[in-house]
Structure 1
Amino acid sequence: MFSKGLAIFCGSFLIAIGLNAFLAPHHLIDGGLMGLALIIFYAFNTPVGVSTLLLNVPVYLFAFMKDKTFFYNGICGLLCSSLFADYLFFLHDDLSLSIFESSILGGFCVGVGIGLMLRYDTSSDGVDLIAQFISKSWAVNVGFTILLIDLFIMVAGMQVIGWRAFCYSVLVITVGGMMITLLTATKRPPV
């Protein structure tokens, strides 16, 4: 229980740093419902954490009806990630890195945060939850599944972020997907 709680805390903190310090200053997006929340933030200036929570309601209702284990494993990660995403908003203007550096570091932070949480059977986002369900049902790597879903969400957000940010967001998702795949490719040590 302590290990899972630590994974949720550290993973959520890394995700929030990636979003606020590296992605948001350059209008980059990640995938998942948090990526959709970033698109909403860029279009309407709505807090990312609040939007993430609202977007996840239908997914978590589905998870609750389909498999309560997925619901309970994910809800703490979702709440913690959303809270940190809004709490660390002040990081938007603290670093002045290039868009390339921000893409790499943002993808790394978000990918490690998500991968760490998934390694302990929890998640930060409903898409992670769906990917976990698909992975367990069809023996497909969860990181690869998330990468495909993320690319679809990015294409949907291209109108809001523009072509340049879209290209760098592909880099964000690629780096993040690699980190998630690395962290979820092997089983975690017994607790």
Structure 2
Amino acid sequence: MGLIAKYTLGLKPGLTIILVSLPLYIYAWFEFRSYFYNGVHGVLVSSFFIDYFHSLTALHTPPILISSITGGFLLGAGIGMMLLTKASAGGVDLLALILAKVISLNVGIIILIFDSVVVLFGWLIIQESTLIYSGLMVGMVGLTTFCITTTFSPQH
């Protein structure tokens, strides 16, 4: 959602993530206090670094297919490990933690569903090739998060 806001409104992605996450953190403060404490630092730090390192996108990057797969795997691994400790980086991760507790569905699947919907909405403004690679990355994030949270969950 941060990238869609960047492309449509020219906003900084990290700042957008904080703004979009704000209602979720207010809700977590009242209903899931541990999720608030475990995640507020994550959203602030990750959003700061997203905006801080944005200028690096002008540098030479590896092939986008490799970046999509590797980035999705690394993001999914990091998110999966955070979610095992009930921590989050905000946004969809926090929403997925809350929903997983309510509807008893794996948090990785919930993240995959939400991120897929966001990517599908992105087809209105993002070029087709970027959309395909974004979908591949989202799939890797969801699959990796699902595998980590399923395999290493304290209930197993």
Structure-2-length-normalised TM-score:
0.88
Of structures 1 and 2, the one with the larger relative CO (CA 8 A, separation 6+) is 1
Number of residues of Structure 1 aligned to a counterpart in Structure 2: 153
Does residue 91 of the first structure (1) align with residue 56 of the second (2)?
A: yes
> Tell me, what secondary structure is at the counterpart of 2:74?
helix
Q: Which of 140, 145, 148 is equivalent to 1:175?
A: 140
> Tell me, what secondary structure is at the counterpart of 1:160?
coil
Q: Which runs of 5+ in 1 are unaligned?
A: 1-35
Structure-1-length-normalised TM-score:
0.73
Q: Which of 20, 27, 31 is equivalent to 1:62?
A: 27
User: How big is each residue's C-alpha offset from its partner over 1:76-111, in whole Å with a ceiling of 9 and x where there is no partner?
Assistant: 111111111122223212333222122112212322
- What is the aligned partner in structure 1 of residue 83 from structure 2? 118
- What is the aligned partner in structure 2 of residue 16 from structure 1? none
Superposition deviation, residue 171 in structure 1 = 0.5
Aligned residue type for 1:111: G
Percent of paired sites with the same residue: 35
1-side partners of 2:99 and 2:8: how far apart? 31
Superposition deviation, residue 66 in structure 1 = 2.1
- What is the aligned partner in structure 1 of residue 102 from structure 2? 137
Q: Which runs of 5+ in 2 are unaligned?
A: none
Superposition deviation, residue 152 in structure 1 = 0.9
RMSD: 1.7
Q: 1:77 touches 1:117 (CA, 8 Å); kept in 2?
A: no
2-side partners of 1:108 and 1:93: how far apart? 23
> Tell me, what secondary structure is at the counterpart of 2:34?
helix
Superposition deviation, residue 65 in structure 1 = 2.3
Does residue 77 of the first structure (1) align with residue 57 of the second (2)?
A: no
